[in-house]
Amino acid sequence: MPEALPSGERIFRGIPVSAGVCRGKLLVLGLARPVIDKRPVSETAVAEEINRFEKALVQTRHQLLEVQRKVSDAMGAHEGSIFDSHLLVLEDPMLLDEVIRLIRNEKVNAEYAFHAVSERYAATLAATEDDYLRERVTDMRDVTARVLNNLLGLEDEHDLRRLKEPCIVLGHDLTPSNTAQLDRRNVLGFGTDVGSRTSHTAIMARSLRIPAVVGLKDASGQLESGQYALLDGFNGLIIVNPTDQTLYEYGQLEKKQLTLQEKLRDIVPRPAITLDGHRVSLSANIEHVSDTDAVKSQGAEGVGLFRTEYLFLERQHPPSEEEQYHAYRAVAAALKPLPVVIRTLDLGGDKFLSHMHVPAEMNPFLGWRAIRFCLQERDVFREQLRAILRASAEGNVKMMYPMISGLEELNQANALVEEYKAELRQESLPFDEGMEIGAMIETPSAVIVADFLAKRLKFFSIGTNDLIQYALAVDRLNEKIAHLYEPTHPAIVRLIQATVDAAHRQKIRVSVCGEMAGDPVLAPLLVGLGVDELSAAPPLVASLKFVIRRLKLAEAQELARFALDCESAADILSRCQELAHEVAPGLFEDSLAIAKSPA
């Protein structure tokens, strides 16, 4: 329940995922699943109900034809034709007859009848063995949601790429591709009912520097568009109708933040060296070619993780080898001689591509994702590997595979790289023969066999976002168990230590590119454990540098020794907080009295 204060101020608490404060009108996105009531209708009203249903079908048809026209104009007839199957649902005689029969025989309202029948159809499709039919479930649900919206008189889903005025977007959920396409000029911040810190929606918000709060439970169901609110991405709050006192407190907070930003700007060009002379590499995680500007302006020393799957999202067809080559080459050229680590396609989990025909799975994070997908979809992998190899001729390109769970996958992927290198030599296409290949360490099994992997690789990059979820068996997207998702769990500390040890024994470098690396409270622990490089969203790099430049390696190592010996995640976290607050107090002046008051 939100806290309702006598002043009329209401506070909704969630999980802070992207720092910053914004205020403005809320834009509440329609519920993904409207509530469908069953209403009896009288004998005489049955005809009217059928009439309403038929009108909603016609209205939906007009809307779909309009969407189809826009898509065809913008992207071509082929892309527009994807809506043909949506339109066919509206003409399916079996479905429509059954709905009308249900309205007549049971004397129920049209939305109930339509919802009941279409859900049964969707469930049958979802259960078929046929991949093509199973994939039609999404089309079916898209169409049925439109018909229901029309029957219920609800507004069509807003187009988040083009908003009329500045607003705070609030919805039940946002997909990573929705987030990547948000209208940057008009989205002041966003909140979602579900989600967690390491969901790709949250990661995207941080790299776009959009203040964001997730895990707000049912806030989107309780709030309405047009209400005035303040969103606090530091403390994870949405405050509706903030009082003058609250606005004043936030004004003070923003002043402190401005002063901090000025201090951070000063250290951007300086290296990340501890007070006792230990050098840490700080690089950036990027999702788009255009992020290279931010890499440079935030003082990162290259790209530690290029999430290439974003080139594949937001579009109808996968990018060709040529298109990928141009994208990778552009990043390499812009940052040369700085290194750019390109991660091969990490599809799956919470990143779905409509054009790749990936069927829905019960456990997508344990399913057909990342390297597993690529090793089976050889054409997709080949185009990407060739594009990366070709781009390596241009700058300091390195490549890494996501989700490696054992040696077999690594050997298979490496064999493919050799095969494509041979092809390129045959075609006289240049590439860097010595391009370094690394792997992400994201599964406990990879940590356990890290010594085998290290012999065949040039570097490791620990993906703590996944490593934590797999090691602790805590779904990284589920806000209900977010409290169990503990980066300072003793098991995680030990897994990181084991990875560092295995890498250093083989004299290869270790980076951390999960969200843990971007947290100035946890960075000293990673440095103390021997991690050579931290890679984080560009806006976080300066804060990391700020902490590292005020820290001694000896203090970080002492913290790591404590953590390796400690039985409690909470105690490890407290020690990390103590050290970070001691060395860089100015970084943490972002919490307010209102945020601390009990929920």
Q: What is the 3-state secondary structure (H, E, C) of 249-272?
A: HHHHHHHHHHHHHHHHHHHCCCCC
* Nearest distance in Å: CB 537, ligand PEP: 11
Span 460-479, contacts to Mg ion by CB under 5 A: 463, 466
Which CB sits closer to ligand PEP, 220 or 499?
A: 499
Instruction: Describe the strand order of the beta sheet including 10-13 as a list of residue ranges.
Output: 3-4, 10-13, 237-240, 228-232, 21-28, 167-171, 187-192, 212-214, 15-18
Of the candidates 86, 158, 172, 200, the residue annotated as catalytic is 200
- Could you tell me the CA-to-CA distances from 333 to 175, 244, 269, 345, 425 in Å, in that order? 31, 50, 20, 21, 22
200 is catalytic: yes
167 is catalytic: no
How many other C-beta atoms lie within 10 A of the C-beta of residue 431?
19
Which CB sits closer to ligand PEP, 46 or 517?
A: 517
Per-residue contact flags (x/-) with Mg ion for residues 438 to 457, judged by CB under 5 A: ----x---------------
* Nearest distance in Å: CB 370, Mg ion: 7
- Residue 513 touches which of ligand PEP, Mg ion, none (CB < 5 to 8 A by kind)? ligand PEP
Strand partners, 324: none
Judge if the upstream peptide bond of residue 337 is cis by omega within 30 degrees of 0.
yes
Span 269-328, contacts to ligand PEP by CB under 6 A: 305, 307
How many other C-beta atoms lie within 10 A of the C-beta of residue 105?
10
Which CB sits closer to Mg ion, 199 or 392?
A: 199
Q: Where are the beta strands (DSSP E) in 344-430?
A: 396-401
How many angstroms separate the CA atoms of 518 and 540, rounded?
6
Give backbone dihedrals phi and psi of 575, rounded to 5 degrees, phi first. -65, -40
Q: Which stretch binds ligand PEP (CB under 6 A): 266-274, 380-388, 461-469, 587-595?
A: 461-469
* Nearest distance in Å: CB 38, Mg ion: 43
- Residue 308 touches which of Mg ion, ligand PEP, none (CB < 5 to 8 A by kind)? none
Is 465 among the residues that bind ligand PEP (CB under 6 A)? yes
Span 332-371, contacts to ligand PEP by CB under 6 A: 346
Contact indicator for 425, 417 with CB cutoff of 8 Å = no
Quote the tokens at residue 52.
Answer: 């309403």
Of the candidates 167, 374, 513, 576, the residue annotated as catalytic is 513
Is 463 among the residues that bind ligand PEP (CB under 6 A)? yes
Interface residue with ligand PEP among 2, 514, 518, 528 (CB under 6 A) is 514
Q: Please give the DSSP secondary-structure letter assigned to residue 479.
A: G
Is 189 among the residues that bind Mg ion (CB under 5 A)? no
* Nearest distance in Å: CB 466, ligand PEP: 3
Interface residue with ligand PEP among 466, 475, 519, 533 (CB under 6 A) is 466
Q: Please give the DSSP secondary-structure letter assigned to residue 159.
A: -
Interface residue with ligand PEP among 292, 464, 488, 511 (CB under 6 A) is 464
Is 447 among the residues that bind ligand PEP (CB under 6 A)? no
How many angstroms separate the CA atoms of 147 and 111, rounded?
9
How many angstroms separate the CA atoms of 163 and 183, rounded?
7
Q: Which residues of 109-123 are buried (b: 16+ CB within 10 A; e: fewer)?
A: bbbbbbbbbbeebbe
Is 20 among the residues that bind ligand PEP (CB under 6 A)? no
* Nearest distance in Å: CB 454, ligand PEP: 19
Quote the tokens at residue 27.
Answer: 């834009």
Residue numbers at the binding site for Mg ion (CB under 5 A): 442, 463, 466
Residue numbers at the binding site for ligand PEP (CB under 6 A): 305, 307, 346, 442, 463-466, 513-514
Which residues are catalytic, by number? Answer: 200, 513
